[in-house]
Structure 1
Amino acid sequence: MPEATLSVAHDAAVVQGYHARTRHHLNGYAAGPDTLDWDAQPDPFRRFAGTALTPLPLPAHSETLPWTALFAAGGPAPRAATLNHLGLLFELSFALSAWKELGPDRWALRINPSSGNLHPTEVYLIARGLPGLDDGVYHYAPQAHALEQRARFAPRPGPQPTQLLIGFSSIHWREAWKYGERAFRYCQLDMGHAIGALRYAAAVLGWRVRELGLSHADTAAALGLDRAGDFGPAEHEEAEALLELLPGASDAAPADPVDWLPGATWAGQANRLDPRPMYRWPVIDAVAQASRRGVRRPVNALPPLGARQLRPATQATAADLIRGRRSAQRFDRQARLGIDAFWPLLAALMPTPAGDGAVQLPWDTGGTDEAPAVHAVVFAHRVDGLAPGAYLLPRNATAQPALQAALPHLSWRPVPDSPPDVPLLELALNPALAGTLRTLSCHQAIAADAVFVVALLGECGSALAGRPWLYRERLREAGLIGQVLYLEAEAAGLRGTGIGCFFDDPVRELLGLGAPGTEPWQVLYHFSVGRPVTDARIASTPPYPEPRP
């Protein structure tokens, strides 16, 4: 067998072994820390000492574009690529959204959600030809809403077209500090949330976003993450992805930032986030290495951006809704949801509802060659017009036969009166659903008290055997679904909460997916939606002292 084939087989075994090893069980959780010292929590903000700092404008307070305007065919009219609009992009995607205070404790919330509010995702900008900004590589510092210049590119003769790329990395220790070995899963779910946050912010500007298919090594080089001396004893960052912002035509040749690096001058020393870590989880480094993309993927032309037919009735502006997104801590267990408000929430999860080749926001980045591979099992608690029970929303029609073969004992009845854009199927009715889901979601009331909960099923069998990097893509797809539900819940006057803690095999057994290791479908994420109960003890203050023009 060729050496490359053996290597891929080994990596696939590592990935699948990691997922099995990090399942939670009713009689025990995946390996994690025995104790937490909250006073020793890692620094939530990465900074690079010795870099030039460029403050960004904060123009979101003057934005008036309605949330529903994002979903017209083609999206809003594109705005020019300027530093002011770049500031808006970051303000609506990765900036702070508020400071919270309870007694002596004070902590920041961010626009992009994160499991445990730990924020392992770091964000970079690679820019060329933007007026008012030197060509180079920048790290985004959300606490300051500013760019730290990590690299300055060598000058090139003649005028240069504006090219803007957003890069992502993960600091695994931020999650592992609290969650132990399961942290890699959560970092990838957070990546899906981050990609969604970027896509919605770009949509406000009328910009398209295209994911570049670089290898892991090229992504690390472009972001300066392979420069070991710049990190020293600080926690390393795992290169994740590069996406190109397209303020103009979306058919231009994809950027290749590796070509921009020769002659670049680098600066900056990363701060150490946790000087006294108490634990080590080597399995995280192992699965990270095994799931890296070793080769480049061709970048396909972006599909047309289609219109969304079922939209929420909100009158909110896009900026206010995005900046107001929060994770619910408690739900009103008496709340109910009308079915007319329920359908738009599910319609938002369907990438190509019209079947005409157009793709709706935010599924249009071209980040994978595959059809949607993560599907939604909807546990409806209190949706008026829908009996309590389990329902399935296949996110592409070609997956339904495989899902039906995996679940032949369930009813598979189409839900009467469901809209054409929402092909919801009844699996099994269960009037005692709330208590069951509380147990399965690590005994959390946030699952029992929601109006509905979504369990996300991903195909993690034979497809991963030859392409182990798809494991990251499955988790990111689940995270992106979570980001859609977060924002759509806000638009419906509700609130969402991602649930990464669930008992993997009992959830699969509830659905009848078979014994562990015998079935390719794995549960990747839970998400709950309900009416929030606000904790009046917690004070909220603005994220920044004052708007910057």
Structure 2
Amino acid sequence: MDQSRHALLEYHERSKHRVNFYAPGPGTLDWTTQPDPFRVFHGTPRVGLPLAADTLATRYNALRCGALPPARAFDLTSLAILFELSLGLSAWKSYGAQRWALRCNPSSGNLHPTESYLLCPALPGLSAGVYHYLSRDHALEHRAAVDDLRWTEAFSDSGVLVGISSIHWREAWKYGMRAWRYCQHDCGHVIAALSYAATALGWQTRLVEAAADDELSDLLGSDRSKDFVDAEAEAPDVLLWIGNPEWRPDLERMLTALDKARWYGRANQLSSGHVKWPDIDSIHRATHKARTPEPTSPNPELRPSPAKPALDLRFAQIARQRRSAVNFDGTTRIASAAFFSMLGCLLPRRDTPPWNALISPAAVHAALFVHRVDGLEPGLYMLVRNPGALPALRQSLRPEWLWKKTGPDYLPLYFLLPYDLRAVAKLICCHQDIAADACFALGMIARFEIALKQPWRYRHLFWECGILGQVLYLEAEAAGVRATGVGCFFDDEMHTLLGVKDHAWQSLYHFTVGGAVDDPRLSAFPPYEVQP
């Protein structure tokens, strides 16, 4: 444990950006080795999925208020909707001769290190087994066919499992050592995207937190070296149970059943050249997770439903129109009611997406740079997402902060400092104008002691940040503005501002919300039109 803790701290410090130097990266990009954004398993039987998302009537506001529709049956069409609105393509973009795909789940640099797998019993339109989702073609690749009663019994007709893994090289090609952090952010975005889409179909989502990484690797087939001879490895991340929240799948029975499974396919090589990043290998080993006891589900507060957003959109529309802003206009303002409503959706609420996926209490809080919110004085605010963390935050941060309660009674929002912080926000976010031109920006402050005690939870803290980001992406769209995640920030400049002096609290992700400026040079095309 001490060795893992040491490796974790070493990676965390070495992967920080600093004002006088950035974390180790590639320096220049070798475009000839840019990784293929789509993993394909050649030689697998394929199941084409229908494009059925437009048949889904669920509205986004119903989801954010915890109003689930009647649960759909688990069949090919409903699972097609699940993947289309969480991990599927949302559009193609082009500039000159260049053409690239956007997806419903965001990703640092649009590199998409995350891969997803479906594990299911026999269902209408699908035979039992393990499938890889290929977003490019909106298809399932049948990796493992399982004909064993124990596999079926493990599901008990109560739901399905979705596994998530990461290909670190996809991010490291561009971002070097810090890429591992971004892979974890992206995993969090995917967890949230799946939770929203599942809830739109009437299903609950739960993270299978007890599972060991080795078990997950066995279930997904990522440990099958002969299927990855020349291909980049996949690191197992997380397993999500989707369906009846009272049921827990029997992983041991599933693993036993897989002993006699028939596996298909070989992974494609994504890149012709690779650069070794030993620090990524080190943090991957340090955060390796063994099997742990099944955690007790907390009982999150029943909070008032957030106010209705400006745009009452169907979930299918908002999931597909989500975009990462590149620039903000620096003039757009939002009403305080809209701001409070967004923040309300960042608070854990019982059986409400995406927080229904998590079991552990909230460990990440939001330090907000408010620039252009009508009715709110510009300055620094803190959203304390777990009331029990308030005393520790007050003790750890600057003693001169005001900690003045503001906003609706149910919202644990505190005003810390009245000041125009646009220049400060820009500086902290690697001198990027987008942090100053936003309506508001924020840094996500994590209870880092959790990771020091259990190193595998380092990943979970980043996931929670990504989940918060996905909420803000959708909330921004519903408010008629736009959001973007900011992975490039000066970690310790943020800590100095807040008064953080040790590793009790650390900033792990930044985010901005504002009026987007679109690039007129780009052309957009439907996600699943016939490709040339």
Q: Same fold (TM over 0.5)?
A: yes
Separation in structure 2 between the aligned mates of residue 53 and residue 453 of structure 1, nearest angstrom: 43
Q: Which amino acid aligns with 2:464?
A: E
Cα RMSD over matched residues?
1.8
2:509 aligns to what? 525
| 1:238 counterpart = 2:235 | yes
Separation in structure 1 between the aligned mates of residue 149 and residue 87 of structure 2, nearest angstrom: 31
| Superposition deviation, residue 303 in structure 1 | 5.6
Residues 17-36 of structure 1 mapped to structure 2, 5 A cutoff: 17-36=10-29
Q: Which amino acid aligns with 2:213?
A: H
Residues 492-503 of structure 1 mapped to structure 2, 5 A cutoff: 492-503=479-490
Q: Show structure 2 runs of 5+ residues with no match.
A: none
Residues 329-344 of structure 1 mapped to structure 2, 5 A cutoff: 329-344=326-341
Q: 257-266 or 16-25: which moved more?
A: 257-266
Separation in structure 2 between the aligned mates of residue 97 and residue 159 of structure 1, nearest angstrom: 33
Separation in structure 2 between the aligned mates of residue 293 and residue 519 of structure 1, nearest angstrom: 22
2:33 to 34, 40, 43: 40
Residues 508-519 of structure 1 mapped to structure 2, 5 A cutoff: 508-514=495-501, 518-519=502-503
2:276 aligns to what? 280
Q: Which amino acid aligns with 2:282?
A: A
Separation in structure 2 between the aligned mates of residue 301 and residue 346 of structure 1, nearest angstrom: 23
| Superposition deviation, residue 38 in structure 1 | 3.1
Does structure 1 conserve the Cα–Cα contact (< 8 Å) formed by 2:365 and 2:445?
A: yes
1:539 aligns to what? 523
Change (3 A) 1:305 1:374: closer
Change (3 A) 1:140 1:367: farther
1:261 aligns to what? 258
Q: Which amino acid aligns with 2:356?
A: D
Change (3 A) 1:168 1:81: same
Change (3 A) 1:292 1:9: same
Separation in structure 2 between the aligned mates of residue 497 and residue 57 of structure 1, nearest angstrom: 30
Change (3 A) 1:227 1:155: same
| Superposition deviation, residue 304 in structure 1 | 8.3
1:106-160 residue CA offsets vs partner (Å, 9 max, x unmatched): 0000000001100000000011031221111111000000000111112439986
1:186 aligns to what? 182
Change (3 A) 1:72 1:458: closer
Change (3 A) 1:275 1:325: same
Residues 406-417 of structure 1 mapped to structure 2, 5 A cutoff: 406-416=396-406
| Superposition deviation, residue 414 in structure 1 | 2.7
1:524-548 residue CA offsets vs partner (Å, 9 max, x unmatched): 00000001111111110000028xx
| Superposition deviation, residue 300 in structure 1 | 4.0
Q: Which amino acid aligns with 2:345?
A: A
1:50-97 residue CA offsets vs partner (Å, 9 max, x unmatched): 100100111112332221111344522211111100000001000000
Separation in structure 1 between the aligned mates of residue 20 and residue 176 of structure 2, nearest angstrom: 17
2:224 aligns to what? 227
| Superposition deviation, residue 26 in structure 1 | 0.5
Change (3 A) 1:46 1:157: closer
TM value normalised by structure 2: 0.95
Does structure 2 conserve the Cα–Cα contact (< 8 Å) formed by 1:71 and 1:308?
A: no
2:245 aligns to what? 250
**Helix, strand or coil for the counterpart of 1:168?**
strand
Does structure 2 conserve the Cα–Cα contact (< 8 Å) formed by 1:303 and 1:364?
A: no
2:374 aligns to what? 384
Does structure 2 conserve the Cα–Cα contact (< 8 Å) formed by 1:98 and 1:109?
A: yes
Q: Which amino acid aligns with 2:410?
A: D
| Superposition deviation, residue 360 in structure 1 | 3.2
1:483 aligns to what? 470
1:457 to 438, 445, 468: 445
| Superposition deviation, residue 408 in structure 1 | 4.1
Does structure 1 conserve the Cα–Cα contact (< 8 Å) formed by 2:212 and 2:289?
A: yes
1:473 to 442, 460, 463: 460
| 1:165 counterpart = 2:161 | yes
1:347 aligns to what? 344
Q: Which amino acid aligns with 2:458?
A: Y
Q: Which amino acid aligns with 1:385?
A: G
Does structure 1 conserve the Cα–Cα contact (< 8 Å) formed by 2:296 and 2:359?
A: no
Q: Which amino acid aligns with 1:420?
A: D
Does structure 1 conserve the Cα–Cα contact (< 8 Å) formed by 2:304 and 2:410?
A: no
2:115 aligns to what? 122
Does structure 1 conserve the Cα–Cα contact (< 8 Å) formed by 2:75 and 2:126?
A: no
Separation in structure 2 between the aligned mates of residue 215 and residue 316 of structure 1, nearest angstrom: 39
1:504 aligns to what? 491
| 1:430 counterpart = 2:419 | yes
Does structure 2 conserve the Cα–Cα contact (< 8 Å) formed by 1:305 and 1:359?
A: no
Does structure 1 conserve the Cα–Cα contact (< 8 Å) formed by 2:325 and 2:484?
A: yes
Separation in structure 2 between the aligned mates of residue 535 and residue 296 of structure 1, nearest angstrom: 48
Separation in structure 1 between the aligned mates of residue 359 and residue 225 of structure 2, nearest angstrom: 28
1:4 aligns to what? none
Residues 271-310 of structure 1 mapped to structure 2, 5 A cutoff: 271-277=268-274, 279-300=275-296, 309-310=305-306
| Superposition deviation, residue 258 in structure 1 | 2.0
Does structure 2 conserve the Cα–Cα contact (< 8 Å) formed by 1:53 and 1:148?
A: yes
1:218-248 residue CA offsets vs partner (Å, 9 max, x unmatched): 01000001111110121100001111110xx
Q: Show structure 1 runs of 5+ residues with no match.
A: 1-7, 353-357
